[in-house]
Amino acid sequence: MSAAPSKTAPGWTLARRTTLMNPSVIREILKVTERPGIISFAGGLPASETFAIEAFREACDAVLRNHGQAALQYAASEGFGPLREAVAAGLPWHPSPDQVLITSGSQQGLDLVAKVLIDADSPVLVEQPTYLGALMAFAPMEPQVHTVPCDADGVLPQALAEQASALRQAGKPARFAYLLPNFQNPTGRTLGVERRAQIAQVAQQHGLPLIEDNPYGDLWFDAPPPAPLAQHVPDGVIYLGSFSKILAPGLRLGFMVVPKALFPKLLQAKQAADLHTSGFSQRVAQHVLASGVQDQQVPRIRDLYRQRRDTMAQALQRYGAPLGVQWQVPTGGMFLWCRLPQPLSALHMLPQAVDAGVAYVPGAPFYVGQADDATLRLNFTNATPEQIEHGVALLCGVVKEALASSAQSPVSRTAA
């Protein structure tokens, strides 16, 4: 699938892989939503009022006062020892701190996974739909992306087994299956206990490595999610975690927990990418975590997000249900997944919504191949309850108008 090198400016020839890099649809939409006055359900932004700014101020001060020279010096590529230890100690299957690689956001973990595990045309398995940022990280390595059928509770283990087995029999085993068991981005769905056990069994039976991406696991509203896949098959999983959702995304701090045999290669890829993650950020984060501030802060974040989820679900019930809008109420995380009534397209309706003062992310970019163009993702964490109520009312007003005009001039829904 190699396209010819392209010349975009005199003297500059772009690498072929750049044809596989596309602007993030979400970032493009976010630019529009930065217009003043728009209520945005588009970005995946945490509520910025939850950032423990005072604790960060104290941590910065303490780090600079007590360890200033070391904090501002080049540092180990693996990450800051005490932070690796804290990460390992917080995980239920007790990996060794030596298996923890600190990354510049878990997005970097996805990039490193792609570089280390994907050759051109290697099959990889993903949920349908899945996290757009992972598809973007994998694409330049030119994988063959196969989708695994899912339902409202996530990946179907039997379908995963069939795909893994078919690829193996064809002599091209999947390099990995990329899974998001908790409060998935974009759908908000969560894999149940039984399915996790079944998926772990499939992975073992078919020699299928798993990439488990879990940035939202701490944001549960009713009960903690079931044990991670990594607890079932520690040597068969690369586990990705993030500090973005519980501390602050601006730190750009995440981590991967890697089976020991793979660690050296991922470390080399990390060294080539950025030598190491900011030592200063790591020390500050470690200081904040050790202060225990987050132990009080995370339950507050859960309460806040639960209330906002409820506000959004109630507003949808009030304004959307009578129009035929459907949605799935997530039990944690940051997103609510909706389906518009026939024959509306979330992609085509977006400009009208933005004109009306509300933004969302259409579902289509999260799909590989045939997309369900009626779907859209709503973020409920970054708007106030008043904005959520008003924004959903505006959105449903747009749905009503779009339905009325489609009744006058029917158009069929297109797959994007």
The answer to the question of residue 244 lying near ligand PLP (CB under 6 A) is: yes
CB of 26 to ligand PLP, least distance (A): 9
Contacting ligand PLP within 67-96 (CB under 6 A): none
CB of 187 to ligand PLP, least distance (A): 11
Contacting ligand PLP within 32-61 (CB under 6 A): 44
CB of 214 to ligand PLP, least distance (A): 8
The dihedrals phi and psi of 142, each to the nearest 5 degrees, come to 60, 50
CB of 188 to ligand PLP, least distance (A): 11
For residues 207 and 345, what is the distance between their CA atoms, to the nearest angstrom?
40
**CB closer to ligand PLP, 178 vs 280:** 178
CB of 190 to ligand PLP, least distance (A): 13
Please pick, from the candidates 41, 131, 280, 367, the single residue that binds ligand PLP as defined by CB under 6 A: 131
Binding mask 160-199 for ligand PLP (x = CB under 6 A): --------------------x----x--------------
Binding mask 202-241 for ligand PLP (x = CB under 6 A): -----------x-x--------------------------
For residues 359 and 351, what is the distance between their CA atoms, to the nearest angstrom?
9
**CB closer to ligand PLP, 188 vs 215:** 215
For residues 32 and 48, what is the distance between their CA atoms, to the nearest angstrom?
20
**Residue 149, C-beta contacts closer than 8 angstroms, at least 6 positions apart:** 128, 155, 156, 159
- Radius of gyration in angstroms for the set of CA atoms belonging to the chain, rounded to a whole number: 22
Please pick, from the candidates 43, 79, 105, 363, the single residue that binds ligand PLP as defined by CB under 6 A: 105
The answer to the question of residue 249 lying near ligand PLP (CB under 6 A) is: yes
**CB closer to ligand PLP, 182 vs 345:** 182
**CB closer to ligand PLP, 95 vs 188:** 188
The answer to the question of residue 311 lying near ligand PLP (CB under 6 A) is: no
Contacting ligand PLP within 263-292 (CB under 6 A): none
CA angle 366, 372, 374 (to 5 degrees): 105
**CB closer to ligand PLP, 128 vs 185:** 185
Question: Where do contacts with ligand PLP occur on this chain (CB under 6 A)?
Answer: 44, 105-107, 131, 133, 180, 185, 213, 215, 242, 244, 249, 254
